[in-house]
Amino acid sequence: MKKVGNHNSNSRKMFLSLAMMLAFSFSSFAQDAAPAAPTEAAPAAATTGGDPVKGKALFNSNCAACHKLDAKSTGPALRGVADKHEKEWLYKWIHNSSDMIKSGDPAAVKLFNENNKSVMTSFPQLSNEDIDNIIAYTSEPKAEPAAALPGAQAGADAAQGSGSNNNVILGVLALVLVVLVVMLFMVNNVLRKVAKANGIEVAPKAQRTPIWKAFVKNQFLVLVSCVFLLLASGYFVYGYLMQVGVDQDYQPIQPIHYSHKIHAGDNEINCKYCHSAARVSKTAGIPSLNVCMNCHKNISEVAETTATPEYSKAFYDAQIQKLYDAVGWDKTTQSYTGKTQPVKWVRIHNLPDFVYFNHSQHVTVGGIECQTCHGPVETYEIQKQFAPLTMGWCVDCHRKTDVKMEGNGYYKKIHEELSKKYGVEKLTEAQMGGLECGKCHY
């Protein structure tokens, strides 16, 4: 018997170069294209007379795909553009930027070249008023992070506070208990002393045979307790031996703290978005990093509200940075550097090599939910193994589960024959042959 290391030999390596080959992005960026970002100090002077609230809605639905307020995205950061250009120029630009570039407007051509000649969509449908609203939104001063913090901090403190409050109460209770016990002893002692001083004899205890001697003398009791002890230890030893080789609840520390709770739970991303091979193949697979970048090109940090007392925003942001380091994505220039590094995910579920298990058979053909076997994954902050993955577990389910026959032409004939043979309408997987050794063992 041997304790093995983490299933490190199986740790997944991501082939980022492959990922990059697949992750064509529509526009590519030059390293040297970083334009001077507008100063963060908000241009309070640029009062445009628009409605920033309406502007925000318009901005989010039309412009946010390419522009962020304070960071370069596909297009430059937009906070304070009103200071950079004339209003008329902005109307013209937003209505049809390519025309301006073609007509040779110097500012437009310069911008176009600085941004690696990516084309901005034209928005002829936006009225001048709409554009005023958007500009009003981009001219709003940046929300001071300090202003946002106290509230969040207070919330965190409150949460933290209630936790520590409980501990304090428990501690005080324990202390009171100890003091009570000590006091009892002391009172007892004092009473004895008082009694002695007053000359009262405390009646000496009658000499009894100690209880263990009485026990040893009673041979029947000894026998019974021996049998009991043997059975009990047998039970525990059996229990211990049976769990050898079973990795239920195994929860290794992953190189990137990736939370299924945030992705599959809070944001309801489908399991198969990432584990897309589960639909069509034997393995479910761990997503290659280009899949992560479909969202994380845009999501470079988590919201203030995502942080929990246990994991701070800074902690989560550092995890996303790890992802960027691995794919070689430079946040400031919004481009790939080409320097990649595989992420060594630690494999959790791992059947021995002599067992054949196929995801698509269970997920696509059998229509079984991931959660039946993997537990409530959408609530796991850290992924773990939910099922024991023993042979008994597989066989149990095959005995209990009815096979989905409806609408599957492949099963028509065998269903007719087998249901006649067993005289039942519904067939379990075991009756279909799911207990034959050769189905699961090579």
Binding to ligand HEC in span 368-397, by CB under 6 A:
368, 370, 372-374, 377-378, 383, 389-391, 393-395, 397
Question: Would you say 255 and 342 are in contact if contact means Cβ atoms under 8 Å apart?
Answer: no
CB nearer to another protein: give 287 or 429: 287
Return the residues of window 270-299 that contact ligand HEC according to CB under 6 A. Answer: 271-275, 278, 283-287, 291-292, 294-296, 299
Helix (H, G, I), strand (E, B) or coil at 252: coil
Q: CA 440, CA 398: separation in Å to the nearest integer? A: 12
Rounded least distance, CB 9 to ligand HEC, Å: 13
Spatial separation of the C-alpha atoms in residues 360 and 277, rounded to whole Å: 8
Residue 329 φ/ψ, nearest 5 degrees? -105, 125
Point out which residues pair with 12 in neighbouring strands. Answer: 345
Nearer to ligand HEC, 24 or 212 (CB): 24
Contact between 335 and ligand HEC per CB under 6 A? no
Report helix angle 313-327 to 289-296, nearest 10: 130
Which of 37, 42, 46, 64 is the binder for another protein (CB under 8 A)?
64
Binding mask 120-139 for another protein (x = CB under 8 A): --------------------
Which string of x and - marks every residue 338-367 that binds ligand HEC (by CB under 6 A)? -------x-xxxxxx--xxx-x-xxx-xx-
Q: Which of residues 114-173 bind ligand HEC (CB under 6 A)?
A: 115, 118-121, 123, 126, 134
Name the CA radius of gyration of the chain, rounded.
35
Residues between 396 and 415 that touch ligand HEC (CB under 6 A): 397-398, 401, 403-404
Question: Could you tell me which residues come within 8 angstroms of residue 425 by beta carbon, excluding any fewer than 6 positions away?
Answer: 419
Dist. CA 405–CA 426, nearest whole Å: 9
- Residues 328-347 contacting another protein, CB under 8 A: 342, 344
- Beta-bridge partner residues of 329: 336
**Residues touching ligand HEC: how many (CB under 6 A)?**
107
Residue 75's CB: how many other CB atoms inside 10 A? 19
355 beta partners: 441
Tokens of 189: 């002692």
Q: Which residues bind another protein (CB under 8 A)?
A: 1-13, 15, 17-18, 22-27, 60-66, 73-74, 119, 243-247, 249-253, 266-270, 272-273, 276, 283, 288, 290-291, 293-295, 297-299, 303, 342, 344, 352-354, 384
